[in-house]
A and B are shown apart, each in its own frame.
Chain A
Amino acid sequence: AQTVTQSQPEMSVQEAETVTLSCTYDTSESDYYLFWYKQPPSRQMILVIRQEAYKQQNATENRFSVNFQKAAKSFSLKISDSQLGDAAMYFCGKVQGYQKVTFGTGTKLQVIP
């Protein structure tokens, strides 16, 4: 079974600082997609950023960027200039062949004013 592992159940960051959330995954395929979803207290799943495995360039979306290490099967999320609104659960997910998303167990991010 495919697995996605988030080893940090909780993280905290000072407002305006940078934080990195870790994610590793298991796969035998060369072509797949990776995602980070944010889940605020409302529990809605909001897409933050995505990465295509065949692209070497790391994806960026404003203050959010990833460090994709394909050989190491690692996909970390960096949040720069953290804001109070960034406080949420963050789920790493993987899709292979346009199928289901396999999610990790999540990291709860606290932003300290």
Chain B
Amino acid sequence: EPEVTQTPSHQVTQMGQEVILRCVPISNHLYFYWYRQILGQKVEFLVSFYNNEISEKSEIFDDQFSVERPDGSNFTLKIRSTKLEDSAMYFCASREYAQETQYFGPGTRLLVL
């Protein structure tokens, strides 16, 4: 069964550094999402992406964040200058056109020191 994959599974970085989190959505999916989950809290929406542009973003998704689909398979989340509070689990999700179910990847655990 096709799955969403994410790399790396864990990343440790220093405050102020840039990080890029990578996702490979399911191949025939057209809508892509990033969510994050701070330890012990609920999963929060960051951004949705369709047709090579952002379709919706949350208040969390400020100028420090950007997303890109650099080729036909990858979907990336970049954090330009990480802060301590960016430490969280980051989930990528994707869905098919005209289907409501989003399939989540296994997540990337980001720790900012």
Contact = CB atoms under 8 A, between A and B. Distances in A.
Interface of A: 33, 35, 37, 42-47, 50, 52, 91, 93, 95, 98-106
Contacts of A99: 48, 56
Contacts of A105: 41-42
Contacts of B56: 99-100
B111 interface: no
Contacts, number: 57
B7 interface: no
Interface string B95-108: 10011111111110
Contacts of A50: 100-101
B65 interface: no
B89 interface: yes
Interface string B19-55: 0000000000001010101000111110010000000
Given A43-B89, A44-B106, A100 B101 contact: no
A110 to B, nearest CB: 16
Given A35-B101, A50-B101, A98-B98, A42 B45 contact: no
Given A50-B101, A98-B100, A100-B33, 11 more contacts: A43-B37, A43-B89, A43-B107, A45-B93, A91-B43, A99-B56, A100-B48, A101-B35, A101-B102, A103-B42, A103-B44
Interface residues of B, number: 27
Nearest to A92: B42
Contacts of A104: 42
A43 B45 CA distance: 16
B101 A47 contact: yes
A44 B102 contact: no
A14 to B, nearest CB: 26
Interface in B67-113: 89, 91, 93, 95, 98-107, 109
Nearest to A99: B56
B48 A106 contact: no
9 contacts: A42-B106, A43-B37, A45-B91, A46-B104, A47-B104, A50-B101, A98-B31, A103-B42, A105-B41
